[in-house]
Amino acid sequence: MLPSGCAMKEEMLSKKRAKAKLYTRYPLSSLLIYNGTTILHFLLGGIGIILGYNFSSWAGYLFGALYLAFSFVEMYVMMPLTVCPHCVYYRMKNSLCISGLNVISKKIAKEGDPKDFPKRGEGLFCNNNLYLAALVVPIIAMIPALILNFSFFLLAILLAVVGLLLFRFFVIFPKVACLHCSAKYKCPQAGAMGVRNM
Ligand code: SF4
């Protein structure tokens, strides 16, 4: 099956404007770095919340489980259902985006409208804000937990999660993911990262 005219036009336009190589299929190493960092961030965040509030018989497990459910559902269910169908990777033949979620999206969601892709960054509860919340919530939750229930192990988890967040913002987004993304001319996050003219 050939890619739709719209997807081909977007791809050609992107290639013309870009200096950095735009990927139709990201290398497997990029996918592993992106998803490995994401999953590690969520797991360490959940463990940190559970350990940080373990002075209560229920609070740590409840908040930790809620956080883990929220972060994984937001990233691996809501994203392919609500954001990916509008993305150029959904429509490009044999494509593989940085998260690989375009492949899942094709199996579980109908093709969307490219014009709706920037909506991922519009409104208080937009996908971009929920994604950011999934990354930042464990850091915010672990700070009071450290004051109430200090341990060096918890401190190490907090520092590791902060490190993963900084690695994502200063290495993964600008150098591995958004820089090479064929959706970067429409994606609000790429605009914020300043990688459109690179
Ligand atoms: S530009 Fe970055 S955030 Fe936007 S779709 Fe591409 S990889 Fe994802």
Mean pLDDT for the stretch of residues 24-43: 98
Rounded to two decimals, the pTM is 0.89
In terms of Cβ atoms closer than 10 Å to its own Cβ (0-12, 13-18, 19+), residue 181 is buried
- The CA-based dihedral angle spanning residues 94, 28, 117, 92, taken in that order and rounded to the nearest 10 degrees: -10
Ligand 1 near 86 CB (within 6 A): no
Residue 87, pLDDT above cutoff 80: yes
Q: How far is the CA of 190 from the centre of ligand 1 (A)?
A: 6
Strand partners, 96: 25
Residue 79, pLDDT above cutoff 90: yes
Query: 54 alpha carbon to ligand 1 midpoint, in Å?
Result: 37
Can you tell me the mean pLDDT for 162-179? 97
Q: What is the mean pLDDT of residues 149-158?
A: 98
Residue nearest to atom 8 of ligand 1 (CA): 178
Q: Report the separation in Å between the CA atom of 43 and the middle of ligand 1, taken as the mean of its atom positions.
A: 23
Distance CA 138, CA 64 (A): 9
Average pLDDT, integer, range 72-78: 98
165 ligand 1 Cβ < 6 A: no
Q: Which residues contact 83 (CB under 8 A, 6 or more apart)?
A: 117, 120, 127
**Is the CB of 38 inside a 6 Å radius of any atom of ligand 1?**
no
Mean pLDDT of the residues in the chain: 93
User: What is the per-residue pLDDT for 193?
Assistant: 86
Mean pLDDT value across residues 163-188: 96
Mean pLDDT over 99-109 rounds to 98
Give the N- to C-terminal CA distance of the chain in Å, as an integer.
31
Q: Which atom of ligand 1 is nearest to the CA of 178?
A: 2
Ligand 1 center to residue 177 CA distance, Å? Answer: 6
For the segment 60-83, the average pLDDT, to the nearest whole number, is 98
Average of pLDDT values for 143-148? Answer: 97
Q: Looking at the predicted structure, is the pLDDT value of residue 14 above 80? A: no
Predicted local distance difference test score (pLDDT) of residue 1: 45
- Of 82, 99, 184, the one to substitute when testing ligand 1's pocket (max ligand atoms within 8 A of C-beta) is 184
Kindly tell me if the per-residue pLDDT of 15 is higher than 70: no
Q: Is 31 in the pocket of ligand 1 (CB under 6 A)?
A: no
